[in-house]
Copies of this chain bind each other. A is one copy, B any other.
Amino acid sequence: MYHFRNDYSEGCHPKVLEALSGVNGEHVIGYGADDYCKSAADLIRNLCQAPNADVQFMVGGTQTNFVTIAALLRPWESVISPTTGHINGHEAGAVEATGHKILQAQVPANGKLTPNRILPIVEACKDEHVTKPRLVYISDATETGGVYTKAELAALYRCCQANDLYLFLDGARLGCAMASVENDLTLADIAALTDAFYIGGTKNGAMMGEALVVTNPELTENFFRMKKQHGAVLAKGWLLGVQFQALLQDGLYFKIARNAVEVAQYLQGGLKNLGIPMMTESTTNQIFPIVPNELLPHLDELCTYEVWGKADKGHTVVRFVTSFASTVKSVDGFLKELKDRT
Contact assessment for A224 and B6 in the assembled complex, using a CB-CB cutoff below 8 Å? no
Q: Contact between B235 and A8 (Cβ–Cβ < 8 Å)? A: yes
Which of B61, B127, B236 touches A11 (beta carbons < 8 Å)? Answer: B236
In the assembled complex, the CB of A247 is this many whole angstroms from the nearest CB of chain B, namely 15
Residues 209-249 of chain A: 1 if any B CB is under 8 Å from the residue's CB, otherwise 0? 00000000000001011101111111110010000000000
User: Is A122 interfacial (CB 8 A cutoff)?
Assistant: no
Chain B residues with CB under 8 A of A222? 74, 76, 132
Point out the residue from B20, B24, B208, B226 that lies within 8 Å of A10, measured CB to CB: B24
Asked if A231 and B76 make an inter-chain contact with CB atoms under 8 angstroms apart, the answer reads: no
Q: Which residue in B10, B30, B60, B235 is a CB contact (below 8 Å) of A27?
A: B10
Q: Which residue from chain B places its CB closest to the CB of A6 in the assembled complex?
A: B30
Q: Chain A 61-104 against B: per-residue CB contact (8 Å), 1 yes, 0 no?
A: 11110110011001110100000000001111110111111101
Q: Which single residue of chain B is at the shortest CB-CB distance from A203?
A: B235
Most B CB within 10 A of own CB, among A3, A93, A233: A93
Contact B75 A70, beta carbon cutoff 8 Å = yes
How far, in whole Å, are A304 and B28 apart by their CA atoms in the complex?
A: 10
Most buried by B among A30, A70, A97: A97
Is A335 on the interface with B (CB-CB < 8 A)? Answer: no
A interface secondary structure, majority: loop
Q: Are A229 and B92 in contact, with the CB atoms below 8 A?
A: yes
**Distance of A316 Cα from B336 Cα, bound (Å):** 62
Find chain B residues with CB under 8 A from A236 CB. 8-9, 11, 202, 207-208
Is residue A29 contacting chain B, with contact meaning CB distance below 8 A? Answer: yes
Known: A101-B96, A233-B62, A235-B61. A10 touches B26 (CB 8 A): yes
Interface check A329, CB cutoff 8 A: no
Chain B CB within 8 A of A325 CB: yes
Interface centre among A96, A128, A132, A229, by most B CB within 10 Å? Answer: A229
Binding site for B on A (CB under 8 A): 1, 3, 5-6, 8-12, 14, 17, 20-21, 23-31, 58-64, 66-67, 70-71, 74-76, 78, 89-94, 96-102, 104, 127-132, 202-203, 207-208, 222, 224-226, 228-236, 239, 304, 325
